[in-house]
Amino acid sequence: FMTYANDRNLREKLYKAFVSRASHGEKNNSQIIEEILSLRTKQAKLLGYESWAELSLSTKMAKEINNVEKLLEEIRKPAFKTAKNELVRLNKFSKDNGFPISEDLQSWDISYWSELLRKEKLNLDQESLRPWFPLNDVLKGLFKLSEKLFDIKVIEARNEAPIWNDDVLFFNILNKDDEKIASFYLDPYSRPESKRGGAWMDECLNKNNIGKNTLPVAYLVCNQTPPSKDKPSLMSFDEVQTLFHEFGHGLQHMLTTVNLPQAAGINNVEWDAVELPSQFMENWCFHKNTLLNIAKHYKTGEKLSNENFEKLVKNRTFNCGMATLRQLHFAITDIRLHSNLYNNQDKNSNEIRNEISRNTTVIKPIEEDKFLCCFSHIFAGGYSAGYYSYKWAEVLSADAFSMFEEADLENNQNIKAIGKKFKDTILSLGGSIPPLEVFKLFRGREPKTDSLIRHLGLSSVN
């Protein structure tokens, strides 16, 4: 609605209602937030930590609050500069197209005018590209890429394993000697009556050689459009990225060489590092040869045009400054609320958030904005002092992918050599050693933010 509704007054009404949820009368979470933060601090101190953030980070790759703050700040500076430039561009575009000269864009205008600008600049209709992404061709391309990178074979196995629905597929993974080393289920289609939305990877069996030797088996679950009588399952580009993402998780589970199930695959991998393989695989969707070898029209066999590929690449970074800054605003607010930085100041959480917003938003929160009252990720979910992990893992995956870029993505010999190194470290070692050590074994150094800043198209701060 916020993206497509022409009525600005209705957008404003909906926006103000949305950002003020759970902040009125009996449904007001404001005091509950303060209680949660207070109790978390007490709990942390009982366990010997200065703050909840210290306690939370003790089991994560980041380890220390300063490490989180440093990484977020390295991304914040170019994101802030880029977002300001994007807002200037959006203001000019809106005024050129009838928005009142005397007014500035407000929060309820951004999505609407951004979509109009996106259409004018990119002329990209992702729905119209579905015919170029039939599931079977996408799977062939994904498996071919994995075979090139990791020296494995992915073979469909019919009638080999029990399935819970006729749509479910089962595959075996073979090593270079054609020995079976793992398997996975793929449940690709939406079934609202029996299956929740979204996409995920989960463990069916963990690798284990204690007693009976057990090979790893994964579940990969998606929710795309089923095939019909006259056409196969046609995927959106977002769904293609999602499949690559979940397969990345699956690869870490299935290609592990750790034989103890408690540390094999994704087990015992720190929260802020577990998305590395999944986000790494997404990067290949923006590699021209990889995507164009996948994208063929299901009827004509025509390849996706270079023009449409370039549009998808440009769409990746469209208004990325504002999108990145939004995530950083949440992450910085979360880590500081849980760091006890404001213990001796007479400020509530919303006032602290508004203070942080000076450097993390380009349109300041309005008076009605009580978003913290419904920020369930950090107050009711598992992301307290951990919201930063989204960006932390993006840094790891972009930096890992940049090693392939530096070796020339078209040089198959180099790519295979680095792919083997990625498999022998990131995908193999699971939770057997700390993720920073695993990353250094692969990359030869600690992670840097440069590659993510470049991939996001963020401005240089120099």
Cβ atoms within 10 Å of 164's Cβ, excluding its own: 10
407-423 burial, b at 16+ Cβ within 10 Å, e below that, comes to: bebeeeeebeebbeebb
CA–CA distance from 54 to each of 69, 343, 385, 394, 442 (Å)?
Answer: 13, 15, 9, 22, 28
Q: Is the dihedral of CA 108, 111, 113, 114 positive or negative?
A: positive
Tokens for 352, please give them: 């602290």
- Whether 246 sits among the annotated catalytic residues: the reply is yes
Q: Which residue is catalytic, options 54, 69, 203, 246? A: 246
Residue 342 has which token pair?
């404001």
Among residues 144, 165, 164, the alpha carbon closest in space to that of 155 is found at 144
Is the Cβ–Cβ distance between 398 and 275 less than 8 Å?
A: no
Residue numbers annotated as active site: 246
